[in-house]
Amino acid sequence: MARMYKSRRGQSGSSRPNVSEAPGWSNTDKDAIQSLILDLAKSGLSSAEIGTVLRDKHAVPNVRLVLGKRIGQVLAENDMGGSYPEDMMNLMRQAVGIINHLGSGNHKDIHNKRALEITESKIRKLANYYKGEGKLPSDWRYKRDELRLMVE
């Protein structure tokens, strides 16, 4: 969402090569990878962190090519996913940090007040999307005073 809130054009980067099967040098043992994912999730890592650990330490460049499903789907099948989607939870943690900053004697920090407004706007937009997808209840509302309870 770079262009919506900034005067820049967004971040440009290379795209992943279009491949349909895992490379020969990678770890393709489905049971081992699935147990690694579950062990890493039990230790408290998010799905993005799990993917990074699998890539860097266990020679699995893309879990989806090996298992046929994403890390989040594996966690959801084993009831290890969080109550909120990961991207929304990251934004809520960011909002809690900004609220803490503004509440600890920095109430005149207008740049972070604006950053809080932008972050809350992103949370509301994601909430509308996830309500439509059925991942959030239709009566869910973002409330700043209840935010700490949701994140913890």
The confidence score (pLDDT) of residue 15 equals 80
The confidence score (pLDDT) of residue 2 equals 53
Superfamily (CATH H level) for 86-151: S15/NS1, RNA-binding (1.10.287.10)
Per domain, the residue ranges of the chain are 30-77, 86-151
The confidence score (pLDDT) of residue 18 equals 87
Q: Residues 6 or more apart from 11 whose CB is under 8 A from it?
A: 2
Please give the structure tokens belonging to residue 97.
Answer: 């940090």
The confidence score (pLDDT) of residue 80 equals 86
For the chain, list residues with pLDDT below 70. Answer: 1-3, 9-11
The confidence score (pLDDT) of residue 70 equals 93
